[in-house]
Each structure stands twice: as structure tokens, then as C-alpha cells.
Amino acid sequence: MPIPRPTRLIGTLVLALALSGSLALQDALAAAEGSHQPREGQFKYSTPIPPGIASPDKVQTRLGTLHFFDGFPDQATAEKLYDNLDFQRAVQAYLLALPAVNQAGNRNAILTLGPANATVPIWEQLVDARTVELTANDNTPYTRASHSHLTRG
């Protein structure tokens, strides 16, 4: 399901601000290494404006070149950023689902060995490279007694 446009606009603004903020911080740190003496024509106690405080028009990233106008991304940049966010969310959903998929697969496999509440498989040996298991550790003895039907007492 696509993300509603107002939510996507807010996300784009947050990304643009974070990106321009990190660039401004880099420029401010570079400027801090220079002289702290006021330039001619400045007040003695004025704070110099660090270079790069304004949002850049172009930013080179691993996603490609991102284009901004007055700190706001253009349409192509916004779409590129949302596509990247969608990809990151999909990867996160996949990774977070692995344990649940593993448990469902274990339960289905155990039910082929015998009825629920009556079958408790115990691995006789530690797992190795030939073991078909999603998240097994090679130093853990395994048993699966957690797939019980509690509705029958």
C-alpha cells in the first residue's frame, strides 16, 4: 500500500533537514579549525556564519545525486528517497519476520512426526552445515516442546 502524500512529504522534509544539517556541521567543524579573529569590518564579538549553513543544491550520495531547491527536494529526489525508505522497510520487515517463520516451520515439521501435545522431538546431535534450520546455533542442544494446544487442557 503506498504511503499517503502528506506523510511522504513530512518524511522527505525530515530527510532533507537531516542531510543538510550534517553537511552544515561538517562545514562548521572545518571552519572551527581556522582563525577565530574577526575579519575587518566585523564587530569584535560577532559570531561568524559558518560556510555551508545553507542547504546545498546538489548532494552526492550512494543513491545518486539528490537535487534540492531552497532546502526542499525536487520530485525526482523525493521519489528516490521514498523508494529507498520503502526498500529499507521491506528489508526490516523480512528480517523481523525470520524468527516467526522459523517457529511456524518447526511446528509444521513437528506435527508430521506425531500429534500435538504428544510429540517432543529432541535433537540427538548438535546441528551442522547439513541441518535444515533457519536460525539454529551449532552449540545448543535443541528440543521443541513449546508447540502445545492449550485449548484441550
pLDDT in tens, 5-37: 556 666 665 555 555 555 554 555 555 555 455
Q: What percent of the chain has pLDDT over 90?
A: 23
User: b or e along 105-114 (b: 16 or more beta carbons within 10 Å of the residue's beta carbon)?
Assistant: ebeeebeeee
Give the mean model confidence (pLDDT) for residues 85-114.
88
pTM of the model: 0.49
64-69 vs 72-73, strand pairing mode: antiparallel
Identify which has the larger pLDDT, 84 or 31.
84
Spatial neighbors of 30 by CB under 8 A, at least 6 apart, are 51
For 42-47, the CB contacts below 8 A with 24+ separation are: none
Q: Measure the CA–CA gap between 88 and 92, rounded to whole angstroms.
A: 6
For 138, the grid coordinates are: 551449532
DSSP class of residue 122 equals B
Look at residues 58, 55, 68 and name the one whose alpha carbon lies nearest to residue 21: 55
Statement: residue 59 has pLDDT above 70: yes
72-73 vs 58-61, strand pairing mode: unpaired
CB 121 within 8 A of CB 144: yes
pLDDT digits (tens, 9 = 90+) for 129-141: 887 777 778 887 7
DSSP class of residue 60 equals E
Quote the pLDDT of residue 150.
65
Q: Measure the CA–CA gap between 71 and 53, rounded to whole angstroms.
A: 11
For 6, the grid coordinates are: 502528506
Residue 64 backbone class (left: φ over 0; alpha: ψ -120 to 50; beta: rest): left
Q: Measure the CA–CA gap between 45 and 9, rounded to whole angstroms.
A: 40
